[in-house]
Copies of this chain bind each other. A is one copy, B any other.
């Protein structure tokens, strides 16, 4: 894509009311737009990152047999009343609205209830289980405060997956399968080395839940990392009993701030019982389905990566989710010959790569500063030297390492 076709402009300053580093950087680089506190729109560069994150996750989930759906945002109160989660006293972040006839509706904060209810039409016998069902869908949460950019939005994109099993043994297998899928996902997203499986409170149906906590100074969570075990413990369950259970020596733990980018937990029959999602087992008995829930905040993940992998010059995208792989920059000279070569290189390279070509009529310094801010992994620079040597300079955004490469080599 030519940079001139990308309508977004970089800017020196983020809006004054923006306090978070992730949104500040993403706004300045033209990836997102702030509509109001906690509500952001995604511009072409930002949408490309979101789409890539989704595709990586989709491939991992499809590989383990999960199927994708798209559930509604507008929610009727009846099914939420059955699980006791309609009341604003119980769930304090509902956005509610009304039909013309004054029927109250809610905007989905999550989708356990509607999916459990929906499956009553489709799950009948033990032959229909197990199931892994997921979606990428906007969630609406009426947060009291929204100061963390896209780390905690009032409207945000989430991947939520729900597992449906015949019994606890089958659930344990799926839970473990998901845990491994999440490992793969965080590795592919380029933050595997700073993301810890973190033991957290399990609620009524399991000893623990498992959070995927990504180290980040502006994170809301405090975790305690055991480097020896390669896991962490959330502050909320940091008690002797838990450490003993996990065979962790308390003196080896180190405290860190982190963002909960993913979580997996067992729901037992919390939803299937009140919503009557049952199946008939081999003995023709009606048995409630055992459920699990597995979330990854897609926009939160993008914000976390923006924050933790950036430097003082701007964003630094991992190759797998960068909006483009190569950023071609031309240092113009009077003859126009460099521009001609640049154009040729762009046409050739874009056939098999994602390339952005800075065709704007601005000074080289502006182009370099913008490229640093936008954070494409590899920058290819052509100047008058390119004419003489028939070379280009390739600079890696992450390390700043550069090398001079012959035209033939790059093509």
Contact = CB atoms under 8 A, between A and B. Distances in A.
Contacts of A35: 71-72, 74-76, 114, 118
A46 B71 CA distance: 11
A67 B40 CA distance: 18
Given A11-B121, A122-B7, A122-B8, A70 B97 contact: no
A138 interface: yes
A73 interface: yes
A107 B105 CA distance: 13
Contact of A68 (B40, B47, B96, B98): B47
* Interface-centre pick from A39, A119, A127, A144 (highest chain B CB count, 10 A): A39
B42 A76 contact: no
A346 to B, nearest CB: 15
A7 B123 contact: yes
Given A5-B65, A42-B70, A47-B70, A33 B100 contact: no
B5 A142 contact: no
Bin the interface of chain A by size: 35 or more
Contacts of A36: 74, 76
A74 B39 contact: yes
Contacts of A142: 99-100
Copies in the complex: 2
Interface string A68-108: 11111111100000000000000000011111100001010
A155 interface: yes
A50 interface: yes
Contact of A41 (B5, B70, B76, B144): B70
Interface in A355-369: 361
Given A33-B121, A97-B97, A99-B142, A41 B9 contact: no
A74 B42 contact: no
B119 A72 contact: no
Nearest to A123: B7
Contacts of A4: 127
Contact of A73 (B69, B128, B138): B138
* Interface-centre pick from A76, A97, A123, A133 (highest chain B CB count, 10 A): A97
Contacts of A67: 5-7, 44
A402 to B, nearest CB: 30
Contact of A154 (B41, B46, B74): B74
A33 B118 contact: yes
Interface in A124-145: 124, 127-128, 131, 133, 138, 140, 142-144
